[in-house]
Amino acid sequence: MRMIANYSKSGALRFTSHLDMQRLMQRALRRAGMPVAYSMGFNPHPQLSFASALALGYTSDAEWVDIKLNEHVEPETFVARMNAALPDGATILSASVAEGRSPALTALIERASYRVDMDFERPVDQQKIIKQIEDMLAGEIIVNKKTKGGWKDVDIRPQVLLMRLIGLEGQKATFEIEGVLDAYGSLQMELLLQAFTQRLGETAAWRVHRTSVHFRQLGV
Amino acid sequence: MDISALDAILKNVEKPGRYTGGEWNIIVKEKAKLNIALGFPDVYEIGMSHLGSRILYHTLNLREDIRCERAYAPWTDMEEALREAGLPLFSLETKTPLAEFDIVGFSLLYEMCYTNILSMLELAGIPLLCADRNDLHPLIFAGGPCACNSEPLAEIVDAVMIGDGEELFLDVADVCLKAREQGLNRMETLKALANVPGVYVPGFYEATYNQGSFVEVKKLEKSAPDQPVRRIVKDLDSAPYIGKPIVPNIQIVHDRVALELFRGCTRGCRFCQAGYIYRPVRERKLETLLAMAKELIASTGYDELSLFSLSSSDYSCIHELIAELLEKTKAQHISLSLPSLRIDSFLQEELERMQSVRKAGLTFAPEAGTQRLRDVINKGVTEEDLLRSVTGAFEAGWTSVKLYFMIGLPTETDEDILGIAQLCKKVSRAFYSLPKEKRGKGLRLSVSASSFVPKPFTPFQWVAQDSVQELRRKQMLLSQALKGARGVEFKYHESGLSRLEAVFSRGDRRLGAVLIEAYRRGCRFDSWSEYFKPAAWEEAFEACGLTMDEYIYRERSVDEPLPWDHIDMLVDKNYLVAERENALKEIVTPDCRLGCNGCFGEKHADDCQLF
Ligand code: SF4
């Protein structure tokens, strides 16, 4: 059977890379005594796949993993046992049994929503921020990006689906941002936020939290 | 400490997971009577791979009145960030500044981490020198293999723990607790500590020199022992072990369960310090090990178990152990690995079965290229042994084999160097002469040659090290001779680094000043070749009026006093002298599992219960 689980990543674990998260999840599954299925072949490996990677330092309530199990496990049992076996900073929020034939999560994932908390070095006017978002979204957002062929100027505007200011108090602003997240080219949040603060002419530090991801069909 | 300030830093450093803590099985206590920080003078990934300090962490934390936390050397980017933000070095568990602990204990795994002790102390706001610390500062301890000659650190660490730490550290803790109850000051506490067997307080002894050469160590404090003696855990089987090891959130070097079968080694390789300073062999019972393995796997979720000892295949029930472990772990997809294989006890059958689980590379350490030189170093292994073993491995499907050698061994000639190449070629031929269907695709034979470093408390503690030029010449010679050998990759090590290692391993107290000079000149992480600064080290020696050459290129006579003679490591000095003679006469000393060779002399004969 296939168990699809939604988990959160926070605290100390936000500094754990995607590859390390995969190992961490495998070990937690073992500690929880989950009957994980293994691939065939020379170096059998546990069969689990993750919907997408999360940048180092980001927190999230919308991480997804798809695990193949050899025996039936009730989703509630899965959640309880896994949460007793995961370190601080990772919590299974929900789990459900998937159709055997439904495609891999990576093939279904489409976009993600983020909440960005920004600390400006000085208070910034609300209108100025809103105007800058509008201006930025109205045209191309050219950033210098490292690609396989070296550093290149690219337009990341097509990957930005939504950006709006949802809170402002003195130097602290909160944004909602939605970006493309799929196998063909995901929004690189750091590049967008750098471009934005640069255009705004302000220096800021930020924290990014992934609030949700959207899948095609699957309906989760 | 200010967590949000820490947060801002972590975003900008490499591998921030090194500093966050929060791992599975971490032990976080609110408060305890005695607070101990274990400081590891290298990065997290290396420190967390060290079994010894992990055993101590667990053992100390078993006690309710002790809170033990960890701190690792911050990588250079983190050091800079901490300095810039004005943040002190902190523990991973509760982010407590190191200066607030009662004891800070450093593990000395290799000499080339000493500058990191200085950076950790300075970042913690603790004075570098014992003389500058007062009652408000933590007691600075050191332990681990290099504690057998801690003289270069004599002015930096307040006390040294020599030998196995499980029982020793608890005794130290008890003395510290009692000292506090009695209201003893720092000096009085150190006096009490000096009487704990295994503790060495360098400040209670004075080293004298005459015209630049070491004369002797004199005792200054009457109540301190004449000769601090190494402590051993006599009954390893009932000693505490890490039942629930911490599982790191980021990948570390030895990212697996380590099952310590036994401590000590009976082989008596004459270059090997570990072979002497961990004697005698003390084994765990088979049942104990099986129970340990079960618990370790269940509590960590690791899928790899490594049989960890100096020479694991010497374990008296190794066949039963491997068979049982394979049986028990079969269903769980757990792979077994034996990091240190002896050629002559090579377990062909077991290997074939292990291979059914996972195919890792195999490692052999013939150490020298000719039988003559192997006899000198007492590596009781023959060419036939090696060839039989590798052929067995190749037939079982292995294609990746590592061979370890040493260059610069005592009595070595070019013939011995060329012998290494010949041996490697024979191994390569053993692979390619197998019929295609009986072997794997391509051979990967990695040959590594490290430079020999003479170590204290070995029969080679008196010998001179080869010069850097000579080592380079020999490396080139070998590299040339290996040309055209199929499947061979040759790697050798930076000889400048082994030179410095040689200075410090047999160093005396004058090196403390050099260490601080080098540190001031930016030396850190010296064992990382990208950070090793040979020029800065040269300057540091010069500033102190010393040269590296006097430490390394001089053959010492056996009756010359040595800076570490006042430490009693249990093995009798006369035994080392005799072994040195045997080496020069190319006489092999048999494994003492076959019969006692009397290495402990009369004084400590009772400490070895092998016979
Ligand atoms: S005392 Fe004898 S048996 Fe014990 S380690 Fe020494 S040589 Fe071996």
Query: Chain A residue closest to B20 (CA)?
Result: A12
User: Longest Cα pair distance anywhere in chain A, in angstroms?
Assistant: 61
Considering only the beta carbons, identify the residue of B15, B249, B300 that sits closest to A12: B249
Give the distance (Å) from ligand 1 centre to CA of residue B575: 11
pLDDT for position B344: 47
Distance CA B202, CA B155 (A): 7
Q: Among B492, B496, B548, B503, which residue's Cα sits nearest to residue B527?
A: B496
Distance CA B27, CA B21 (A): 10
Least confident window among A1-5, A136-140, B356-360: B356-360
Question: With contact defined as beta carbons under 8 Å apart, do B549 and B537 qualify?
Answer: no
Query: Chain B residue closest to A39 (CA)?
Result: B333
Give the distance (Å) from ligand 1 centre to CA of residue B386: 27
Q: Answer whether B24 sits within 8 Å of A43, measured CB to CB.
A: no
pLDDT for position A102: 79
- Backbone phi, then psi, for B594, in 5-degree steps? -85, -10
Q: How confident is the model at residue B562 (pLDDT cuts 50, 70, 90)?
A: very high
Helix (H) or strand (E) holding A9: strand A2-9
Chain B residues within 8 A of A27 when measuring between CB atoms: 24, 247, 300-303
pLDDT-above-70 percentage for chain B = 95
Name residues whose C-beta falls within 8 Å of residue B80's C-beta, 6 or more positions apart in sequence. Answer: none
> A40, A73, A102: which is the final residue of a domain?
A102
The CA-based dihedral angle spanning residues B238, B240, B242, B243, taken in that order and rounded to the nearest 10 degrees: 60
Q: Write the single-letter amino acid at A11.
A: G
Scanning B337-396 for CB atoms below 8 A from A yields 358-359
Q: Answer whether A43 sits within 8 Å of B333, measured CB to CB.
A: no
Give the distance (Å) from ligand 1 centre to CA of residue B323: 29
B327-333: long-range contacts at Cβ-Cβ below 8 A with a sequence spacing of 24 or more?
B328/B290, B328/B293, B328/B294, B329/B293, B329/B297, B329/B305, B329/B357, B330/B357, B332/A30, B332/B297, B332/B303, B333/A38, B333/A44, B333/A46, B333/B303, B333/B357
Mean pLDDT (chain B, rounded): 92
* Cβ–Cβ contact B91 with A under 8 A: no
Q: Distance (Å) from the C-alpha of residue A133 to the closest C-alpha of chain B? A: 25
Question: With contact defined as beta carbons under 8 Å apart, do A155 and A141 qualify?
Answer: yes
The domain in which residue A201 lies consists of: 108-215
Q: Answer whether A27 sits within 8 Å of B302, measured CB to CB.
A: yes
Give the distance (Å) from ligand 1 centre to CA of residue B260: 20
Average pLDDT over residues B63-75: 98
Paired tokens of B74: 């911050």
* Cβ–Cβ contact B247 with A under 8 A: yes
Average pLDDT over residues B454-470: 95
Interface confidence (ipTM) of the complex: 0.90
pLDDT-above-90 percentage for chain B = 79
In a domain, A60, yes or no: yes
* Cβ–Cβ contact B251 with A under 8 A: yes
CB burial of residue A159 (10 Å; 0-12, 13-18, 19+): buried
Using alpha carbons, list the distances in angstroms from residue B119 to B124, B128, B255: 8, 9, 26
For A37-87, write each residue's pLDDT tens digit.
999 876 788 999 999 999 999 999 999 999 999 999 999 999 999 999 999
Shared domain for A12 and A33, answered yes or no, is yes
For B212-250, write each residue's pLDDT tens digit.
889 999 999 999 999 999 999 999 999 988 889 999 999
Shared domain for A123 and A87, answered yes or no, is no
Q: Distance (Å) from the C-alpha of residue B143 to the closest C-alpha of chain A? A: 30
> A56, A71, A102: which is the final residue of a domain?
A102
Shared domain for A207 and A178, answered yes or no, is yes
Chain A residues within 8 A of B359 when measuring between CB atoms: 42-43
Q: Which residue's CA is the closest to the ligand 1 atom numbered 5?
A: B280
Name residues whose C-beta falls within 8 Å of residue B482's C-beta, 6 or more positions apart in sequence. Answer: B421, B424, B425, B447, B488, B490
Tell me the H-state helices in B396-533.
414-432, 468-481, 495-505, 511-520
Shared domain for A112 and A209, answered yes or no, is yes
Shared domain for A87 and A133, answered yes or no, is no
Q: How confident is the model at residue B120 (pLDDT cuts 50, 70, 90)?
A: very high
Question: With contact defined as beta carbons under 8 Å apart, do B563 and B507 qualify?
Answer: yes
Shared domain for A68 and A113, answered yes or no, is no
Which DSSP state fits B544?
Answer: T
Cβ B610 under 6 angstroms from ligand 1: yes
How large is the C-alpha radius of gyration of chain B? Answer: 24
pLDDT for position B252: 95
pLDDT for position B356: 47
Distance CA A177, CA B346 (A): 61
Residue B362 has pLDDT above 50, yes or no: yes
Q: Answer whether B247 sits within 8 Å of A27, measured CB to CB.
A: yes
For B128-182, write each residue's pLDDT tens digit.
999 999 999 999 999 999 999 999 999 999 999 999 999 999 999 999 999 999 9
Q: Number of A:B CB contacts under 8 A?
A: 72
pLDDT for position B455: 97
Distance CA B418, CA B83 (A): 51
pLDDT for position B545: 95
Q: Distance (Å) from the C-alpha of residue A207 to the closest C-alpha of chain B? A: 10
Most A CBs within 10 A among B14, B24, B359, hence the mutation to make, goes to B24
More reliable by pLDDT, A145 or B551: B551
Cβ B561 under 6 angstroms from ligand 1: no
Q: How far is CA B110 from the centre of its chain?
A: 6
More reliable by pLDDT, B380 or A121: A121
Residue spans per domain, chain B:
3-219
Average pLDDT over residues B262-278: 95
Shared domain for A128 and A176, answered yes or no, is yes
Which DSSP state fits B523?
Answer: -
Shared domain for A79 and A131, answered yes or no, is no
Q: Distance (Å) from the C-alpha of residue A12 to the closest C-alpha of chain B? A: 5
User: How many domains does chain A contain in total?
Assistant: 2
Residue A99 has pLDDT above 80, yes or no: no
Residue A204 has pLDDT above 80, yes or no: yes
Shared domain for A203 and A113, answered yes or no, is yes
Question: With contact defined as beta carbons under 8 Å apart, do B155 and B131 qualify?
Answer: yes
Cβ B232 under 6 angstroms from ligand 1: no
Q: Which residue's CA is the closest to the ligand 1 atom numbered 2?
A: B596
pLDDT for position B354: 59
Shared domain for A93 and A138, answered yes or no, is no
* Cβ–Cβ contact B469 with A under 8 A: no
Q: How confident is the model at residue B343 (pLDDT cuts 50, 70, 90)?
A: very low
* Cβ–Cβ contact B8 with A under 8 A: yes
Shared domain for A98 and A118, answered yes or no, is no
Least confident window among A177-186, B151-160, B355-364: B355-364
Shared domain for A211 and A115, answered yes or no, is yes
> A47, A82, A102: which is the final residue of a domain?
A102
B3-219 adopts what CATH topology? Rossmann fold (3.40.50)
CATH number, domain of A122, equals: 3.30.70.3190
Is omega for the bond preceding B563 within 30 degrees of 0, making it cis? no
Q: How confident is the model at residue B311 (pLDDT cuts 50, 70, 90)?
A: confident
pLDDT for position B329: 80
